Chains A and B, each alone.
Chain A
Amino acid sequence: MKFFDDIEVGAREVLGHHTFGEAEMIAFARAYDPQPFHVDPEAAKRSHFGALVASGWYTASLWMRYFVGFNVRTAEAQRARGERVPVVGPSPGFSNLHWLKPVYAGDTITYATEAREKTVSRSKSHWGILKAYNSGTNQYGDLVIDFESVVLLERRGS
């Protein structure tokens, strides 16, 4: 990630694209979310979804995969330019997560993040608090997931 000071509110980054495969959707759901419409294509056909749909937590976890991948690439570029890579702290959580549309096998989701608000941590002045708006959009341009996250990010010169 960039240093807290260098992040521009409103800046949006595309993190990556993922095409959902039936086998991976079922594997995740068997481990963590074995509802019939996530693990059984026949049962899913009879459900109001009409076909197998991804667990919402699979859709969310994949956002994280592409977010981390984006940050790794950013860090590599920073190191290549001889810059220091900022320390990212743990996240206290997220809010207003919406699963807006079902994700079906074969759908391609574009994951993104957008900086929304910056606050300087009062107690720990070397950290800034970044609020971000995160999303996944399908191949038809429909939002399938969005949520707001909070992350602690190192300030420059700290």
Chain B
Amino acid sequence: MPDIFFEDFIIGEVKTFGSHEVTRDEIVTFAREFDPQPMHLDEAAGKASLLGALAASGWQTCAIMMRLICDGFLVRTAGMGSPGVTENKWLAPVFPGDVLTLRRTVLESRTSRSKPDMGLVTFRFELLKANKSPAMEQVCVLMVGRRNPGARLA
């Protein structure tokens, strides 16, 4: 049962979660299935590309972020899905051996008039490399169940 609800996300709060070491194998496996462009499959093609080396598909970087979000807090949260992503920036290529952590900032939270059992929380999610430089930044809204549905917020 979830133990994190809408009310638990405090505007301005910043937290860091987890870590994920990216391997060459997972980059190539994901790319074969979803993004078979040469720079995601082959070292030489990666070196010749603007990315400078074999690098992960940007969609895989999104997926890795989602996994860190799930493991970090979402599987314990009364999550109800997401209406979408306002903005996603691929700031730096992700290479084999990169260790990524998730930084979460709560930007905004609001209840829904039409759906009193949930609220909408806007987050800035950043994937940071080991040296703390950001590889990806995303502003994303999650729908989260309320602890006391229908209660009025102060």
Contacts and interface: CB of A to CB of B under 8 A. Distances in A.
Interface in A90-109: 90-99, 102
B63 A61 contact: yes
- Dominant secondary structure at the A interface: mixed
A111 B107 CA distance: 32
Contacts of A102: 81
A92 B64 CA distance: 18
A60 B85 CA distance: 11
Contact of A60 (B36, B49, B62, B86): B62
A68 B36 contact: yes
B17 interface: no
Given A93-B88, A99-B82, A35 B75 contact: yes
A33 B70 contact: yes
A12 B119 CA distance: 36
Interface in A1-50: 28, 31-37, 47-49
B147 interface: no
A62 interface: yes
B61 to A, nearest CB: 10
B74 A35 contact: yes
A35 B79 contact: yes
Contacts of A32: 63-64, 66-67
A62 B63 CA distance: 12
Nearest to B85: A97
A49 B81 contact: yes
B34 A61 contact: yes
Interface string A93-129: 1111111001000000000000000000000000000
Contacts of A49: 81
B110 interface: no
A56 B86 CA distance: 14
Nearest to A71: B37
A90 B49 contact: yes
Interface of A: 28, 31-37, 47-49, 53, 55-57, 60-62, 64-65, 68, 72, 89-99, 102, 147
Question: Closest 9 A-B residue pairs measured CB to CB?
Answer: A32-B63, A98-B84, A97-B85, A93-B89, A61-B34, A61-B59, A95-B87, A97-B84, A33-B66
